Structure 1
């Protein structure tokens, strides 16, 4: 388990050649999964576009560096719309207010903790009116841009220390989207994004097999993607679309 401040600013080292790829600039949160999906990179040569590393490409997060197999792990976010969309959501957790679904203000997050192997957000350090507690992500309903929404019985998830976050497994199926009014503009943006993904990927050939989160084969290497297959990938989730985008012939 790592807290966000232990990851931010770390050098990123390529194992294959020992070169420093850059430094971790920020952690990109996927609010639907409750996870860190990408690490953006700070590098003097990366001025024009935003570069990042998918969390699943990270080999290890140590005290002194983040390691990846090679510089091939680095992607250009402008070339992967779904990743770019996550960056533009600007979801942050630290210094964000926490409120129950009934509108009761609980406190404010001072730090959050990440499973260094999977990227899943295990929980947060929460400042209440009279004390600080650790809060398991099991209580989270929505990771929002301005507010984190939690269950009404949030107090039952309070822990006396952050070390306890590692003892229990977070059931990600419990992290459900809040019941919100649908924003028509958001729907239009999502549709436009999906159409752009189809436009970018249709007709391109996969260079490796792609599996779903349960290890079931979705697409064979050598598949020439059509719009129907891309739509199926979109239904599987953003991570599958990213996987396709990273493994097609230019």
Structure 2
């Protein structure tokens, strides 16, 4: 399990040439199928280009690098099929409101949690601001119910709201002020 923010800056290694070819700049999320569809990378040694690696072309992701099987799997962005309705860069997801279907604001997306072997999105880390995060801790919204992305908002059902994991860390928990 990794967060998309963990990937930023990871070196990209090519297995067929056994050398460094770039570093991760962002992740592309497919909100329709709820998975990572690719990585945006800074590619090249002297002259840098922005390129994309389809997630299916990734051989493996470890705790400190991404391995691509073949150099030929690195594509220009214009050749990558990016459907703006369903696919977003992770940087465009961060800060998006999460609301209950009745309109109640639950927080804002801080990060995306995914499974590194399959690319499946497991959930979202929510924030209510730095001070609230420090005092109360983070919240995690598992991806176990319907989530609709509509007009730059994530809309979840009341049942999905009940599955939010609260107080992941925070001073309240550390000082045992909350049971």
Kept in 1: contact 2:144–2:160 (CA 8 A): no
Distance 1:13 1:161, change over 3 A: farther
Q: Whole-Å Cα distance in 2 between the matches of residues 32 and 87 of structure 1?
A: 5
In the TM superposition, 1:21-36 aligns within 5 A as 21-36=21-36
Q: Which position in structure 2 is the counterpart of 1:8?
A: 8
Distance 1:150 1:134, change over 3 A: same
Q: Whole-Å Cα distance in 2 between the matches of residues 19 and 145 of structure 1?
A: 42
In the TM superposition, 1:216-235 aligns within 5 A as none
Structure 1 residue 107 and structure 2 residue 113: aligned? Answer: no
Once the two structures are TM-superposed, the CA of residue 77 in structure 1 deviates from its matched residue by 2.4
Distance 1:67 1:112, change over 3 A: same
**For structure 1, which runs of at least 5 residues remain unmatched after alignment?**
163-250
Q: Whole-Å Cα distance in 2 between the matches of residues 23 and 84 of structure 1?
A: 24
Q: Whole-Å Cα distance in 2 between the matches of residues 86 and 56 of structure 1?
A: 21
- Could you give the per-residue CA deviations for residues 165-195 of structure 1, whole angstroms, max 9, x where no partner exists? xxxxxxxxxxxxxxxxxxxxxxxxxxxxxxx
Q: Which position in structure 1 is the counterpart of 2:142?
A: 136
Q: Which position in structure 2 is the counterpart of 1:83?
A: 82
Query: Larger strand proportion, structure 1 or 2?
Result: 2
Larger-gyration structure (1/2) = 1
Q: Whole-Å Cα distance in 1 between the matches of residues 93 and 161 of structure 2?
A: 19
TM-score normalized by the length of structure 1:
0.56
> Once superposed, what is the RMSD of the aligned Cα atoms?
2.6
Structure 1 residue 157 and structure 2 residue 163: aligned? Answer: yes
Once the two structures are TM-superposed, the CA of residue 83 in structure 1 deviates from its matched residue by 2.8
Kept in 1: contact 2:29–2:87 (CA 8 A): no
Once the two structures are TM-superposed, the CA of residue 7 in structure 1 deviates from its matched residue by 1.0
SS at match of 2:103: coil
Q: Whole-Å Cα distance in 2 between the matches of residues 103 and 69 of structure 1?
A: 45
Q: Which position in structure 2 is the counterpart of 1:72?
A: 72
**Structure ranking higher on relative contact order (CA contacts 8 Å, 6+ apart):** 2
Q: Whole-Å Cα distance in 2 between the matches of residues 84 and 72 of structure 1?
A: 23
Distance 1:23 1:139, change over 3 A: same
Q: Which position in structure 2 is the counterpart of 1:98?
A: 98
SS at match of 2:158: coil
Q: How many residues align?
A: 159
- Could you give the per-residue CA deviations for residues 94-128 of structure 1, whole angstroms, max 9, x where no partner exists? 32211122211111222221110111110122235
